[in-house]
Amino acid sequence: MFALVKELSEIPGPIGHEDPVQDWVANHWATFSQSVRRTRVDNVLARVGGSGKKLVLVAHADEICLMVKSISEDGFLHVWPYYSDTIKRPPSWLSVTGQPALVVSSDGLTEGVFATASGHVAGGRAGGKDYAEWNDWFIDIGVSSRAEAEALGIGAGSRAIWNPPTRRIGKNITGKAMDDRAALA
């Protein structure tokens, strides 16, 4: 089961770019279903069949993402929340500094790392604010200019996801997109 959950959870699927996840689900479910079809809004429906009670399993394929808001002259990607409930500032529970990032762009996937303004920079804010703001967050993709980032197909609106490896910790599985990818597996 671990291998199956790992394979599915590691497929990038930020909002608006769920097709690779939906393709995986449709292909894998076809092996044990009477029929599998996609709806106009890209839901995957599988009919298993049988004569017992009917049961519906419902899950989503997308994952939490951020959007690239802008690219600095030196190639850092400034990000913005995709969700309106965190528009004011990053929630205190969201701490991804130093964590792997993956940017989904028109030309493919680009690895990076999440970073924030350091304490001595952030500490000098007007009004003595002691919390991070979205403008303090960025993704370092290892380039040194905006042109290099744009050459990778990255621009405003590109999606970025948290991208840790899927692994076992004792009897548990940890990684990204577990909230419903495990149910889809």
Q: What digits encode the pLDDT tens for the residues 56-113?
A: 888 888 898 999 999 999 999 999 887 666 566 666 656 778 899 999 998 999 999 9
pLDDT of residue 81: 82
- Residue type (1 letter), 2: F
Spell out the residues 6+ positions from residue 153 whose beta carbon is closer than 8 angstroms to its own. 105, 106, 107, 108
The answer on pLDDT for 120 being more than 80 is no
| CA distance linking residue 112 with residue 157, whole number of Å | 16
Average pLDDT, the chain: 87
Domain definitions of the chain by residue range:
2-61+174-184, 66-162
The answer on pLDDT for 144 being more than 70 is yes
The answer on pLDDT for 12 being more than 70 is yes
Q: What's the farthest any 2 CA atoms get from each other in the chain?
A: 68
Please, what sign has the CA dihedral across residues 138, 142, 145, 151? negative
Our CA angle for 129, 116, 92, nearest 5°, is 55
Mean pLDDT of 161-173: 94
The answer on pLDDT for 143 being more than 90 is yes
The answer on pLDDT for 131 being more than 70 is no
pLDDT interval class at 119 (50, 70, 90): low
Least confident of 10-14, 21-25, 111-115, 133-137: 133-137
Comparing 74 with 127, which gets the higher pLDDT?
A: 74
Instruction: Report whether CATH 2.40.110.10 matches the domain 66-162.
Output: no
The answer on pLDDT for 16 being more than 70 is yes
| CA distance linking residue 88 with residue 110, whole number of Å | 27
**Which phi and psi angles does 78 have, rounded to 5°?**
-85, 130
